[in-house]
Amino acid sequence: MANNKQIVWIDMDGVLVDFGLHVENTISNNTFLRESYKGRYDHIPGIFRNPPPIEGAIEAVKKLAESGKYEMFIATAAPWGNPDASTDKRYWIEEHFGNLFHKKMVVTHRKDLLGGDYLIDDRIKNGAGEFKGELLRFGWAYETETWNEYPTWETILNKLL
């Protein structure tokens, strides 16, 4: 039996996870971390373990899953200098989604190599800009300091449902 579901890849940081807010909260009262990891806060040990979700992300992803229209996967990059980041990200996914993404998570700096219909990502970095399907630019674009075409999860749901 053929699977006619479209494939959706979902980035984590800036899409599912409010990593920027988490970093700001982590370093705001910690001079050591702020100074020691300046310019590379993603290398702070454990920084990826418990960041808050982006507003509406968890509920929206569950709605997409419940629609039955999509086969969904996580596509995230992890800093090379923080080897525990991949494990922390996996635990975050399990904590917030249970088994929804069981064995459906790819850690890569080459999102252009992923096959699928949609990639929901906030940036064009790590190959996202060369993704072969449709890139749904989500949230805040740090490169241009403007809102992307899909600023909220509600706008993603309006596109996909």
Residue positions annotated with a catalytic role: 11, 13
Q: Look up residue 53 and give its DSSP letter.
A: B
Per-position DSSP letters for 9-32, written without gaps between them:
EE--BTTTB-HHHHHHHHHHT-HH
The answer to whether 73 and 8 have CB atoms below 8 angstroms apart is yes
Element (H, E) at 98: none
Q: Determine what percent of the chain falls in helix, strand and coil, rounding each to the nearest 5.
A: 35, 20, 45
Give the residue from 9, 17, 16 showing the smallest Cα distance to 131: 9
